[in-house]
Amino acid sequence: MSKIHVTTTVNGDEVEFLADPRESLLDCLRDHLGLTGSKEGCGTGDCGACSVTLDGTLVCSCLVLGVEAEGRQVATIEGMAEGNELHPLQRKFLEHAALQCGFCTPGILVAAKALLEKTPDPTETEVRYWLAGNLCRCTGYDKIIRAVLDAAAEMRQEAA
């Protein structure tokens, strides 16, 4: 079974890997590129732990083939902070204790970032529905929603 050479951009860096065409983008990120921040919770697009953006669109990387990343722009949790400068969402998640086990956290942060780029001033309901595809089993979502709303407020203030 022949592998396919894939050249793509991940978090701004050009990378190459050899993918079996059956492998998901998540498999390729984790097993070929060593980017294990994106998690597999279900493999069926139901949990959102593998959330990344592909050319700016939020997707489940378990529902994208690795070979489909050819020539695309992929952004993962590993690219969210700028060096040691955390994204406001990351800071607010820590301040609000919005994580317990932390397994769903990377996917939720990537998804929330995509929301705030599109909708800088979301309502609680908008945040809840946007994140409905990101399962968290520890927190009951309360502190996650508060952290996202607080980060949005801070980012709006900075932008103003």
Partner 1 sequence: MNYHTPSTFEDAARLAGAAGGVTRFLAGGTDVLVQMRAGMVLPDDLIDLKKIPGVHDIVQGADGGWRIGIAVPGAALGAHAALVADWPGVVEGMELVGSTQVQGRATLAGNLCNGSPAADSVPGLVAAGATVEITGPDGTRSAPVEEIPAGPGKTTLAPGELISAILLPPRGKAGGDAYLRFIPRTEMDIAVAGCAVNLRLEGDTIAEARVALGAVAPRIALAPDCAAAIIGTTLDEAALAALDAAARAACSPIDDKRGTVAFRTEVAGVLARRAAAIAYSRAKGE
Partner 2 sequence: MAKDELGETLHLVGTRPLRPDGLDKVTGRARYGADVSMPGMLWGAVVRSPHAHARIVKIDASKAEALPGVKAVVTRADFPEGLTGENWNLQENTMAGERALYDGHAVAAVAATSALRAQEAARLIEVEYEVLPHVIDVDDAIRPDAPVIREGAADATVPEGSPPNVARYIEFGHGDTEAGFAAADLVRERSYKTEATHQGYIEPHACLGQLGADGKGEMWVCTQGQWYIRQMCSSVLGLEAAQLRVTPSEIGGGFGGKTTIFMEPLSLALSRKAGGRPVKIVMTRSEVLRATGPTASASMDVKIGMTKDGMITAAHAEFRMQGGAFPGAPVDMALYCAFAPYKLPAAQHIGYDVLANRPKCAAYRAPGSPMGAFAVESLIDEMCRELGLDALEVRLKNAVKEGDRASYGPTFGSIGLVETLEAAKSHPNLAAPLGPNQGRGIASGFWFNHSGETSVSLAISEDGTVQVSVGTPDIGGSRASIALMTAETVGIPYEDVRVNVVETGALGVNEPTHGSRATFASGKAAVVAARQAIAEMCRRAAAEWGIDPEAVEWANGAAQPAGPNAGKFPPMGIEEIAAKMGSTGGPISGHHESVPEGAGASFGCHVVDVEVDPETGRTTVLRYLVVQDAGRAIHPSYVEGQFQGGAAQGIGWALNEAYIYGEDGRLQNAVFLDYRVPVASDLPMIDTQIVEVPNPGHPFGVRGVGETGITPPLPAIANAIEAAAGVRMRSLPMSPPKVLAAIRAAREG
- Closer CB to partner 1, 1 or 160, in the complex: 1
- Closer CB to partner 2, 59 or 104, in the complex: 104
Look up residue 85 and give its DSSP letter: B
Site string for partner 2, 67-96 (x = CB under 8 A): ---------xxx-xx----x---x--xxxx
Instruction: Check if the beta carbon of residue 10 is closer than 8 Å to that of residue 79.
Output: yes
- Closer CB to partner 2, 15 or 80, in the complex: 80
**Residues linked to residue 14 through DSSP beta bridges, in sequence order:** 9
* Burial class, 20, CB count within 10 angstroms (exposed 0-12 / middle 13-18 / buried 19+): middle
Contacts with 9 (C-beta within 8 Å, 6 or more apart), sequence order: 15, 72, 73, 74
**Euclidean distance between CA atoms 133 and 131, whole angstroms:** 5
How many chain residues interact with partner 1 (CB under 8 A)?
31
- Closer CB to partner 1, 1 or 159, in the complex: 1
Residues that bind partner 2 (CB under 8 A): 20, 22-23, 27, 30-31, 35-44, 46-47, 49, 76-78, 80-81, 86, 90, 93-97, 99-106, 109, 124-125, 127-129, 131-146
